[in-house]
Amino acid sequence: MSPAVGKPIARIEGRAKVMGRARFAAEYPIRGVVHAVPVLSTVSSGRISAIDTAEAQASPGVLKVLTHLNAPKLPYLQRKDKPVTDPSVGEPFRPLRSDMIFFDRQYVALVVATTLEQAEAAAAKVRVSYQRARGSLTFDSALPGAHQPTEGKASAPYRRGVPEAAYAASTVMVDQRYVVPTEHHNPLETHATIAVWNGNKLTLYDKSQWVQNVQRHAALMFGIPYANVRVLSPFMGGGFGSALRAWPHIDLAALAAKVVGKPVKLSLSREAMYGTVGFRPETRMRVRLGADRSGKIGAVMHEAWAQTSTYEEFTENTLGATRLMYDVPNLSTTYRVVPMNVSTPTYMRGPGEVTGMFALETAMDELAVKLNMDPVQLRLINEPSIDPESKLPWSVRSYIQAMRVGAERFGWSRRTPAVGSMRDGGLRIGLGMAGGTYPGNRNPASARVLVNIDGTVTVQSAGTDIGPGTYTSMAQVAADAVGVDVGQVKVELADSKLPYSFPQGGSALFASLSPAVQEAGRQLRRQLAELAVADRQSPLFGLPAALGTGDGQVFVTADPARAESIRVLLGRSLQPLEARVTSSPSGKPTHSIHSFGAHFVELSVDPDVYEIRVRRIVSTFGVGRVINPRTAHSQAVGGMIGGVGMALLEHTDTDPRNGRRMNANLAEYLIPVHADIPVLEPAYLDEVDPFIGPLGAKGLGELPIVGVAAAISNAVYHATGTRIRELPITLDKLLQEHG
Ligand code: MOS
């Protein structure tokens, strides 16, 4: 039997998704469900001075209007295991707790009515007056309040060598500032929660990347045992990090259901998605690179100023990639948080790395230009032999290979280096490249695997599948471990009552959960052999020989014709076989585990109106073993498209006068459509990383977006000679540069 791992199997929930049978949170048909619509603040800082709900309360179908004045005060017990998805400093925003306004589109009231239309109509009749406060509404005005993060390893000040002196002694220098704007995730499925109380027990149908986090959050909110709360999130229409935390609309839905004594559905509008479900924080950076004439980089100083809210200190790994990407003896990174009147930012695909690498990889291109050196060559000569930060050997570092293979696949050698030297008719052609990296993360996770009496296999874990194909990859791992066809495996995920798992986040779930599934499968393989040997009716009864499993059979390893099918063997038994395994990464790391990739971009720029059309992106990734080339391809393409959006389209605009998000909708917050997307050619290197875990696979969900924006920016420079250092690269910015 050939292994299922490595095969391009179509995602097993794919048919249910395209047939509309895969239910998203808001789609559960709950008898008697009523609808909640939040009222959103129109100011970003200050207090509610008056709130008039009389007209709303008297509107048809309205069951209740909740505000900070009448909402029951919930216990919100302190959580001992602060969730890894939450900032470690500060207190989360609790809705309807006080008259304070911290950010634009904050929940200030909740209308519950029999129908959605009645709730929406009544919500429009809630009258709120505000007493505005000055607040920190713009990045510039907030900058004086910038400070180093209170804690956090990744964002702590870092230095090695003597960066200032080494920089000053360099012969070729780059000193530039780069900006990544606020971006919102904008998954097509908006966040939604249906809350159903049954006595003192609560069920939440929620959009969540971490159901057991929501479970604990809801239990502590009401002061009830964890076991009284069940959270389900089996399918998701895109998460990208926006569903990692337990956001306050969950509180509102659960509270409203308690108050009105009926199941409540709260489905956020697209506009409300710009309020309290996170965003990529605006980050301003300064990068200094100092090199000698040969291109050897002696000094790097990378500083970041990143926005956070006034009530929590969100930080991300913006500068981690800089510390390990190149062999630089003198290097410092400095992170500062900039508290503003915004809701707390959160992780958004490739969080931190994608931001920092836009700056670093653009600066590298600027250095290559100054050195008059090919940008691939510059990177090759600064390749570190070990991780320069941890001093650990690399597990598998395939950056050089990704660049070499990528350059070959792309046809980089036809690039003529001079700016504007490549043409296609009247269009300027730009060719650019950049690198990417992402940590190979692994967390504890548990799985239960069953061999059922019909010979099928069931895999269970509370881990979620937000789209990468976890249902499919876990089926592949279990099929190989137990010895059955992948079609015989059913996977159940994202139910809080199933064995504990960390979130699907940080590209870590496969590496975290697969060892538990594999080990449980192997235990079942042994149990099957023992069962056969002990069963008088089995042709394998009493055999001293070594037994194996495969193709749905238990067989004698030395004589595979002597076999019994698992289905027949289990059919005589009255109960399924079961194994439950928790797997954790082992102790102190011995190797530095990261994925690497390289992007090569070709685009055209119209020299009259500066319209940019990306024509082709060739990306090559080293992520360890590829478990499923088909779902991996879809992850790569998704990440690369995200990179195109980041480079050319995405930015949340904020009104400097009042902190209002001005484009809180999909008409004005631009994301790529099909016509924006060129030929995408991702490929994975053939490799295995034995240090991440037994399957040898590092995560691949986030790496493909890291570096894309820099590669596009570098190609725009190659075409035009203009460097746009503030994303997105829009034609108005190019036109401004060219008068
Ligand atoms: Mo990812 S940004 O950890 O969902």
Q: Quick check: 739 pLDDT over 90?
A: no
Ligand 1 pocket: which of 85, 184, 347, 510 to mutate (most atoms <8 Å of CB)? 347
What integer pLDDT is reported at residue 154 of this predicted model?
Answer: 85
Return the closest-CA partner of residue 639 out of 580, 691, 707: 707
Q: Going by CA atoms, what residue is nearest to atom 3 of ligand 1?
A: 505
pLDDT tens, position by position, 261-290: 999 999 999 999 999 999 999 999 999 999
100 Cβ contact list (under 8 Å, min separation 6): 47
Are the C-beta atoms of residues 190 and 196 closer than 8 Å to each other?
no
140 Cβ contact list (under 8 Å, min separation 6): none
Q: Going by CA atoms, what residue is nearest to atom 4 of ligand 1?
A: 241
Average pLDDT over residues 5-24: 96
Backbone angles phi, psi at 26, to 5 degrees: -75, -5
639 Cβ contact list (under 8 Å, min separation 6): 349, 350, 701, 702, 703, 704, 705, 706, 708
Atom of ligand 1 nearest to the CA of 241: 4
Rounded to whole angstroms, the Cα distance separating 739 from 24 reads 49
Ligand 1 pocket: which of 184, 242, 349 to mutate (most atoms <8 Å of CB)? 349
Angle between helices 708-720 and 629-648 (to 10 degrees): 50
Rounded to whole angstroms, the Cα distance separating 76 from 216 reads 11
DSSP 185-221: ---SSPPEEEEEEETTEEEEEE--S-HHHHHHHHHHH
Instruction: Give distance in angstroms: CA of 503 to centre of ligand 1.
Output: 9
> What are 16's strand-pairing partners?
none
Backbone angles phi, psi at 299, to 5 degrees: -150, 140
CA 645 to chain centre: 16
For residue 170, what are its two tokens?
A: 């360099």
Instruction: Give distance in angstroms: CA of 698 to centre of ligand 1.
Output: 15
> What are 684's strand-pairing partners?
621
What integer pLDDT is reported at residue 340 of this predicted model?
Answer: 98
Rounded to whole angstroms, the Cα distance separating 698 from 60 reads 55
Atom of ligand 1 nearest to the CA of 504: 4
- List 164, 702, 726, 737, catalytic entry: 702
Instruction: Give distance in angstroms: CA of 731 to centre of ligand 1.
Output: 30
Backbone angles phi, psi at 457, to 5 degrees: -120, 140
Residue 418's Cβ-count burial label (10 Å; 0-12, 13-18, 19+) is exposed
Indicate the average pLDDT of the chain.
Answer: 97
For residue 648, what are its two tokens?
A: 């050319």
For residue 319, what are its two tokens?
A: 């500068």
Residue 64: HSE in the Cβ half-sphere, 13 Å Cα cutoff? 21
Number of neighbouring beta carbons within 10 Å of residue 588: 6
Average pLDDT over residues 226-248: 97
Average pLDDT over residues 233-252: 97
Q: Tell me the three state secondary structure of residue 444.
A: coil
Average pLDDT over residues 397-415: 98
Average pLDDT over residues 22-48: 97
Number of neighbouring beta carbons within 10 Å of residue 26: 19
Rounded to whole angstroms, the Cα distance separating 186 from 189 reads 8
Q: Rounded to a whole number, what is the largest CA-CA distance in the chain?
A: 89
For residue 594, what are its two tokens?
A: 């990261």
Instruction: Give distance in angstroms: CA of 737 to centre of ligand 1.
Output: 35
Instruction: Give distance in angstroms: CA of 346 to centre of ligand 1.
Output: 9
Q: Quick check: 450 pLDDT over 80?
A: yes
Atom of ligand 1 nearest to the CA of 346: 2
What integer pLDDT is reported at residue 621 of this predicted model?
Answer: 98
Atom of ligand 1 nearest to the CA of 351: 2
Rounded to whole angstroms, the Cα distance separating 184 from 163 reads 35
Instruction: Give distance in angstroms: CA of 728 to centre of ligand 1.
Output: 21
Ligand 1 pocket: which of 702, 705, 706 to mutate (most atoms <8 Å of CB)? 702
Q: Quick check: 693 pLDDT over 90?
A: yes
Return the closest-CA partner of residue 338 out of 311, 309, 374: 309
What integer pLDDT is reported at residue 587 of this predicted model?
Answer: 83
* CA angle at 292 for the pair 377 and 334, rounded to the nearest 5°: 90
Return the closest-CA partner of residue 446 out of 458, 461, 457, 459: 461
Instruction: Give distance in angstroms: CA of 179 to centre of ligand 1.
Output: 21
Atom of ligand 1 nearest to the CA of 349: 2
Question: Residue 79 — pLDDT band, cuts 50, 70, 90?
Answer: confident
Atom of ligand 1 nearest to the CA of 348: 2
Average pLDDT over residues 187-195: 98
147 Cβ contact list (under 8 Å, min separation 6): 336, 337
Are the C-beta atoms of residues 158 and 323 closer than 8 Å to each other?
yes
Instruction: Give distance in angstroms: CA of 267 to centre of ligand 1.
Output: 22
What integer pLDDT is reported at residue 152 of this predicted model?
Answer: 84
Number of H helices, E strands in the chain: 17, 29
> Which residue, chain included where needed, has tokens 């929590």?
312
What integer pLDDT is reported at residue 153 of this predicted model?
Answer: 83
The DSSP 8-state label assigned to residue 48 in this structure reads E
What is each CA distance from 663 to 187, 277, 669, in whole angstroms?
16, 16, 5
Return the closest-CA partner of residue 112 out of 71, 69, 63: 63
Average pLDDT over residues 63-73: 98
Average pLDDT over residues 42-60: 98
Q: Quick check: 331 pLDDT over 80?
A: yes
- Which amino acid, residue 280? R
Rounded to whole angstroms, the Cα distance separating 278 from 245 reads 9
Instruction: Give distance in angstroms: CA of 350 to centre of ligand 1.
Output: 7
At 336, which helix (H) or strand (E)?
Answer: strand 330-339
Rounded to whole angstroms, the Cα distance separating 130 from 123 reads 17
Rounded to whole angstroms, the Cα distance separating 434 from 600 reads 7
Q: Which residues does ligand 1 sit against, CB inside 6 Å? A: 209, 239-241, 244, 347-349, 351, 505-506
Question: Residue 738 — pLDDT band, cuts 50, 70, 90?
Answer: confident
Rounded to whole angstroms, the Cα distance separating 291 from 472 reads 47
Instruction: Give distance in angstroms: CA of 397 to centre of ligand 1.
Output: 22
Return the closest-CA partner of residue 253 out of 212, 294, 202: 202
pLDDT tens, position by position, 345-386: 999 999 999 999 999 999 999 999 999 999 999 999 999 999
Rounded to whole angstroms, the Cα distance separating 379 from 363 reads 12
Atom of ligand 1 nearest to the CA of 242: 4
Q: Between 60 and 738, where is the model more confident?
A: 60
Rounded to whole angstroms, the Cα distance separating 348 from 153 reads 19
Average pLDDT over residues 550-565: 95
Ligand 1 pocket: which of 84, 186, 213, 244 to mutate (most atoms <8 Å of CB)? 244
At 288, which helix (H) or strand (E)?
Answer: strand 283-291
- Whether 117 is a known active-site residue: answer no
